[in-house]
Amino acid sequence: MKQYFRLYLTLVLCVFFRAACAMTSPWEVTLGYGNGNLVGFDHSNGVLEWQGALGYFPDNWTYGDFQLGGQFSTARLEGNAVTGPNNLTIGAISPVIRWSFLTTPTVQPFLEAGVGVGAFSGTQFDGRSFGSVFTFRDFFGVGLRTNTRYPMVFGVDILHYSNASLAAPNPGITMPVLGYMGVCF
């Protein structure tokens, strides 16, 4: 519970101690958290993922209901395997496409998807071996962006990290649900 309170407090402080934004705020800073079982891992009960991301979604990259953008993310996985490293850090950069299926003056729900490249901090995690530190990061999600005086973004993503069989072995990592929230500026 303390972790949720710290995350919430950080976001509230970011919102209230920054200058007022225009409704077209292209930058997003988000914090995400996932807790659950990694798909395909035998002993992954209770794996945690923390993610921080910086996104850029400028208005001039909007085409109809579609918006192009980019995202730099860093994630930390914390596992509980009996053998092998239980922590893994991941850095990635991804182009992102968003489809806003309903836009009102105050809220903008969207579907998003992206595929990018990244790197693991090592080749071992939670009893699994990866063939390389190089990885692809792909994700799909749904979110909501508020267009108010203090714009915010909320969402849920499904993430997958894999080296696309460029190196063996390639077990990949799939985080079924990662929730995030952030501020726009």
Report which of residues 140 and 81 the model is more confident about: 140
Give the model confidence (pLDDT) of 163-181 as tens digits.
999 999 988 888 888 899 9
93 backbone φψ class: left, alpha, beta (φ>0; ψ -120 to 50): beta
**Residue positions counted in the chain:** 185
Averaged pLDDT score across all residues of the chain: 84
Residues 6+ apart with CB under 8 A from 19: none
Dist. CA 56–CA 29, nearest whole Å? 9
Structural domains for the chain: 2-184 (2.40.160.20)
Give per-residue pLDDT as tens, 108-164: 999 999 999 999 999 988 778 889 999 999 999 999 999 888 999 999 999 999 999
pLDDT tens digits, one per residue of 4-22: 445 454 544 444 434 333 3
Question: What gap in Å lies between CA 82 and CA 80, rounded to an integer?
Answer: 7
Query: To 5 degrees, how large is the angle CA 173–CA 179–CA 183?
Result: 125
DSSP assigned state of 60:
G
Which residue in this structure is represented by tokens 């085409």? 63
Q: What is the value of pTM for the model shown?
A: 0.81
Which of 4-18, 21-35, 59-73 has the least mean pLDDT?
Answer: 4-18
155/130 Cα distance (integer angstroms): 29
